[in-house]
Amino acid sequence: MYNGTGIYTLPEASRLIGVPAQKLNRWFFGYGYSKKYGDESVRAFSAPLWEPQLSSEEFSSPVIGFHDLLEARFVDAFVAHGIPLVVVRRCMEHARELYSLEFPFTSGRFKTDGKTIFAEEVERAIKEDALLDLKTKQFAFKAIINNSLYDGIEYAGDIASKWYPEGKRSPIVLNPSRQFGSPIVESTGTPTKILFDSYLAEGQSPAAIQQTARTYEVPIKAVESAVLFEENLKRTRH
């Protein structure tokens, strides 16, 4: 039913792209906040940046899809450089309309056209809100949208179809058509988490690598890559 979509809980997504689950929840499902009207404080709601691929009503906890996951990496790159979400939202809506694509940031076209879209939306935001000091931000586009965001993505036309989180030379891939998009060894389809758990159970040694490779019929180098990948997730990501 969900073949080709990918399924990630927010903690799983956080682990994979290094964005806190709470932040992802706000981006994908919106949030309430207090807003001042004169002397009164009223509750307001900030809508999601976009509608996630999957309906959380069908799952026991909030979930997102493969394209949601990749698009969130780009949103995080904007936010990390101090760009307000209102500008990120407008850039997304502008690009979505221009390209007729539901997930425009991950498109290779945004890499070339995004600077213009970005500058236009920054200019618009400054005109509408004098408190926004974004005049220098329009020159930061190359620092935000860099090759590292695109290098591991493989495309089918304009649409992202796979993501190699450690680069395309690595055997580790996220493919929404296989294992619901979880990280796997591409040649065998074996989830990296299973290989890592086996490695831990076998004693975390070179012998453990070899035993895991035999048990799951996976090349030794692929097991080594899976172990390193999982260790890196624990070490450097949320």
pLDDT single digits (tens) 152-179: 999 998 889 999 999 999 999 999 999 9
Sequence spans of domains, the chain: 1-64, 81-150, 157-238
Q: Which residue has the higher pLDDT, 64 or 110?
A: 64
Question: Which of 59, 56, 89 has its CA nearest to residue 71?
Answer: 89
Q: How far apart are CA 105 and CA 92, in angstroms?
A: 7
Residue 176's pLDDT is 96
The pLDDT of residue 149 is 84
pLDDT tens digit sequence for 172-192: 999 999 999 999 999 999 999
Question: In this model, does residue 139 exceed pLDDT 60?
Answer: no
DSSP 3-state of 184:
strand
Q: Is 163 exposed, middle or buried (0-12, 13-18, 19+ CB in 10 A)?
A: buried
| Mean per-residue pLDDT of the chain | 86
Q: What is the pLDDT of residue 41?
A: 78
**Looking at residue 55, what is its pLDDT?**
82
In the chain, the percentage of residues whose pLDDT exceeds 90 is 53
Please give the angle made by the CA atoms of 122, 123 and 129, to the nearest 5 degrees.
Answer: 85
CA distance 163 to 97: 24
Work out the pLDDT band at 39, boundaries 50, 70, 90.
Answer: confident
Which residue's structure tokens are 């990296």? 192
Question: 82 falls in which pLDDT band (50, 70, 90)?
Answer: confident
Q: Which of 148, 181, 180, 195 is nearest to 167 (CA)?
A: 148
How confident is residue 147, by pLDDT bands cut at 50, 70 and 90? low
Report how far apart, in Å, the C-alpha atoms of 169 and of each of 126, 153, 164, 166, 229 are. Answer: 42, 12, 8, 8, 13
Q: What is the pLDDT of residue 169?
A: 92
Contacts of 68 (CB under 8 A, 6+ apart): 8, 13, 28, 50, 52, 53, 103
The reported pLDDT for the residue numbered 133 is 58
2-25 as b/e, with b when 16 or more CB fall inside 10 Å? Answer: eeebbbbbbebbbbbbebebebbb
- Whole-number Å distance between alpha carbons of 86 and 107: 21
Confidence at 236, pLDDT banded by 50, 70, 90: low
Check residue 237 and give its pLDDT. 54
